Amino acid sequence: MVEIFFKTLPFFAIIGLGYWAGRTKFFSEEATAYLTKFVFYFALSAMLFRFAANLSLADVFDARLIAGYLWGTAFVYGLATAVGFFRGLNVETCAVEAQCAVIGNVGFLGAPMLVLLMGEAAIGPVMMILAVDLIVFSSLIVILITGSRDGQMSLSILKTVGMGLLKNPMIVSISAGLIWASTGFGLVAPLNDFLGILGGAATPGALFAIGASLASKSAERIEIAGWLSFCKLVLHPLFVAMGVLILFPTNAYTASVAIAAAALPVAGNVFILAQHYGVAPQRVSAAILISTVISIVTVSVAIGLVTTA
The predicted pLDDT at position 219 comes to 64
The predicted pLDDT at position 243 comes to 97
Q: Is residue 139 pLDDT above 70, yes or no?
A: yes
For residue 164, the number of C-alpha atoms closer than 13 Å in the C-beta half-sphere is 18
For residue 201, the number of C-alpha atoms closer than 13 Å in the C-beta half-sphere is 17
- Tens of pLDDT, residue by residue over 154-193, are 666 667 777 777 777 888 898 898 889 888 888 899 999 9
* Mean pLDDT value of segment 236-254: 96
* Mean pLDDT value of segment 48-58: 84
Query: What is the pLDDT confidence band of residue 295, given thresholds at 50, 70 and 90?
Result: very high
End-to-end CA distance of the chain: 12
In the chain, what are the domains?
Answer: 2-308 (1.20.1530.20)
- Tens of pLDDT, residue by residue over 80-130, are 999 999 999 999 999 999 999 999 999 888 888 898 888 888 989 998 998
Query: What is the pLDDT confidence band of residue 252, given thresholds at 50, 70 and 90?
Result: very high
- Of 277 and 161, which is predicted with more confidence? 277
Q: Is residue 245 pLDDT above 80, yes or no?
A: yes
Query: What is the pLDDT confidence band of residue 228, given thresholds at 50, 70 and 90?
Result: very high
Cα 201 to Cα 153: distance, rounded to the nearest angstrom:
41
Of 20, 112, 93, 85, whose CA–CA distance to 270 is shortest?
93
The predicted pLDDT at position 76 comes to 97
* Mean pLDDT value of segment 279-306: 89
Q: Is residue 153 pLDDT above 70, yes or no?
A: no
Cα 280 to Cα 303: distance, rounded to the nearest angstrom:
31
* Mean pLDDT value of segment 58-78: 93
The mean pLDDT value of the chain amounts to: 88
The predicted pLDDT at position 152 comes to 59
- Count, residues in the chain: 309
Q: Is residue 148 pLDDT above 80, yes or no?
A: no
* Mean pLDDT value of segment 237-257: 96
* Mean pLDDT value of segment 65-77: 97
The predicted pLDDT at position 144 comes to 85
Q: Which residues lie below 8 Å from residue 149, measured CB to CB, with a gap of 6+? A: 92
The answer to whether residues 20 and 84 touch, using CB atoms and an 8 Å cutoff, is no
The predicted pLDDT at position 232 comes to 97
The answer to whether residues 100 and 284 touch, using CB atoms and an 8 Å cutoff, is yes
- Tens of pLDDT, residue by residue over 184-218, are 888 899 999 999 999 999 889 988 988 898 887 76
Percent of all residues in the chain with a pLDDT value above 70, rounded to a whole number: 95
The predicted pLDDT at position 75 comes to 97
